[in-house]
Structure 1
Amino acid sequence: MDTCIFLLVLVLLPQLIMSNVPKVTSFRAVVELVSENSRIFSGEGLHLRCSIPDVHSNWSVEWFRGSERLPENGENFKLWNAHIKEGGKFSCQGARESVVGIIRTMQSLPVEIDVDGGWAILKAPSHQPLTGDTLKLSCRLRGTPPIHEAILYRDGIEVIRQTGQNLSFYLSNVTLEDAGMYSCRVSWDVRRRTYSVISVNTTVNILEVLTEPLMEIQADVKMFGKNRMKLICHVQYNARAPAPPGSRAVQLQGQGATVESGEVESTQQFLRNARITTMAQHPHPRHLLPPENPKLPPELLQSSS
């Protein structure tokens, strides 16, 4: 009997061990858009690449559109002569054989691809512009007609009208009010007839370099006592590299008291009955400020030196 039990344990033990081994890794695949545009005309092609952040293993690659598993395998995914219905959110995942079965990476964050059946596409920057930046929007046409006029609209209202072959529009020193739904209209003449096409809307968001501070109040009597509370100042800093890791001057101000902190998310304790306001200062030295920020408030231009 003991021998039977021992043999049964030997048989079942590997299965029990294998069932407890994780089949999904802790790291994620990364999908990259190799082609210039994520919005393409029908009939055009597209190139995506998948990378696995693990150089010590041989991974095969699986591709997905939404939740649909695609038949393509391999690091590169190419779409030829695209149809409108072939657009969507594309992602990839790594898979490899092991002694415990197939192990997969976490699925990559998706890249959204739009296939446009029209005649004009408005291209916006891949990164979100900041207040004070110059925003460039480009209207792309199917083919090369003899253009004589191009118009840029925001939320259906004309913003820029220009003549000639130039299809690029520039909005300098943008503010939060410049965010909206943009489209372009292009016109040309052929054989005494005027043709005009308009793109679908493209969403443009504008970010502040430094967001307005938000105060969080934690008043837990058991944790802080009857006459004390915890204040947390939340600030988001959106400047592009080279940007310091956090704000160098966050202030919590109350009646008769001001406390300085060196973190973007700072915590301080104050009397429960204090009236509190928050301030945050831009941490950049002047020479590291983005080149086009003339509208920043004066207090954000103070050097931390």
Structure 2
Amino acid sequence: MDTVICLLVFSVLPQLAVPAAPSETSFRAEVEIVSGHSRIFSGEDVRLRCSIPDGNRSTWDFLWFRGSEQLPYFGQDLLLWNTMVKKSGKFICQGVRDTIVGNIHTRRSLPVEINVDGGWAILQVPPHPSLVGGTLNVTCRVRRKYPLREVILYKDGVEVMRRNGVNPHFYLTNLTLEDQGLYSCRASWDIQRNTHSVISAASPVQVLEVLSQPHLEIDAANDLIKLVCHVQYNIPAPAPPIQYFFYKNNTRLGPAASENYALVSWKPGQYSCKAKVPQLGLWRWSESLSFEQETGN
């Protein structure tokens, strides 16, 4: 009888096992530069910080990577001290938390690229893309604090602006898509009646539209079609809400929607969508897309 009871107990145990917890959360770690700059001279320092957007305020440890190489640092801050050119790279962090069911990791952060320059001049540009209509502020730095005589800004090798050396900052206002490109600077100074001149490496500048032109996708299923309005909205959070409108033969299909899709009856016609940000007074239309009931998309 005892043998039978033991067999029954072991046959039930697997069914009572606790399901394995997921090894990765939906949180994505975030890296920011808290001191220094994304482009620095060799011998300078930069400090990176990793944060986890966890509303539960859980306690996290941190893993750091340069490219695919894991670094021997586990704190929330990563200090790159007295840097060398070979320490340039794309830096990534990831949160890890020890639980009773094992380690749980966040998704890895998007990379932050640090360029260590061994030359004499650096053009420092914002680490994030600029927006159409905005202002771009760039600074031409020289390794030593010489009394600069003149500073020149170039875009794709063509002179854009020049200043006296007292003000090495350049401001490009009311940006357009044509302003993106490779920027560099030349700085010159006089020492003992000799003029010295240095030029920086080129730095890429990207300019994005606040609201890109939408692209409409049509997916047919049974008696309905799904209209999906794809658009890039490049305002950082917290951004004003965006609204979506859908049209057939230039007639609006229902009220504004906060979601970028709509389900409508399967009927042939010319379909389009509009993305609108009322608070900014912005809207963009997609191109019309023809849909034929007999042949599908």
Query: Aligned residue for 2:290?
Result: none
Cα distance, 1:277–1:57 mapped onto 2, change above 3 Å? closer
Q: In structure 2, what residue type is equivalent to 1:267? A: A
Residue 252 (structure 1) aligned with residue 251 (structure 2): no
Provide the rounded CA distance (Å) in 1 between the counterparts of 2:272 and 2:22: 48
Query: Aligned residue for 1:153?
Result: 154
Provide the rounded CA distance (Å) in 1 between the counterparts of 2:236 and 2:61: 35
Residue 76 (structure 1) aligned with residue 77 (structure 2): yes
Query: Aligned residue for 2:168?
Result: 167
Output one character per residue of 1:103-161: Cα deviation in whole Å (capped at 9) or x when no partner. Answer: 43333332221111111111222342222222211112211112111111111111112
Q: In structure 2, what residue type is equivalent to 1:185? A: R
Shift of 1:42: 0.5
Contact 2:61-2:95 within 8 A present in 1 as well: yes
Q: In structure 1, what residue type is equivalent to 2:241? A: P
Residue 44 (structure 1) aligned with residue 44 (structure 2): yes
Query: Aligned residue for 1:202?
Result: 203
Cα distance, 1:6–1:88 mapped onto 2, change above 3 Å? farther
Query: Aligned residue for 2:89?
Result: 88
Query: Aligned residue for 2:262?
Result: 267
Output one character per residue of 1:167-188: Cα deviation in whole Å (capped at 9) or x when no partner. Answer: 1111121111111111111111
Residue 223 (structure 1) aligned with residue 222 (structure 2): yes
Provide the rounded CA distance (Å) in 1 between the counterparts of 2:153 and 2:255: 45
Q: How many residues align?
A: 280
Give the secondary-structure state (helix, strand or coil) at the position aligned to 1:72.
coil
Q: Structure 1: which 5+ runs fail to align? A: 290-295, 300-305
Of Structure 1 and Structure 2, the greater strand share is in: 2
Shift of 1:81: 0.7
Provide the rounded CA distance (Å) in 2 between the counterparts of 1:281 and 1:56: 35
Cα distance, 1:30–1:176 mapped onto 2, change above 3 Å? closer
Provide the rounded CA distance (Å) in 2 between the counterparts of 1:239 and 1:212: 15
Provide the rounded CA distance (Å) in 2 between the counterparts of 1:174 and 1:34: 27
Provide the rounded CA distance (Å) in 1 between the counterparts of 2:270 and 2:58: 58
Output one character per residue of 1:223-256: Cα deviation in whole Å (capped at 9) or x when no partner. Answer: 247xxx65444343334567421137x463626x
Query: Aligned residue for 1:35?
Result: 35
Contact 1:90-1:110 within 8 A present in 2 as well: yes
Shift of 1:5: 4.5
Shift of 1:65: 1.5
Q: In structure 2, what residue type is equivalent to 1:263? A: A
Q: In structure 2, what residue type is equivalent to 1:28? A: R
Identity of aligned residues (%): 47
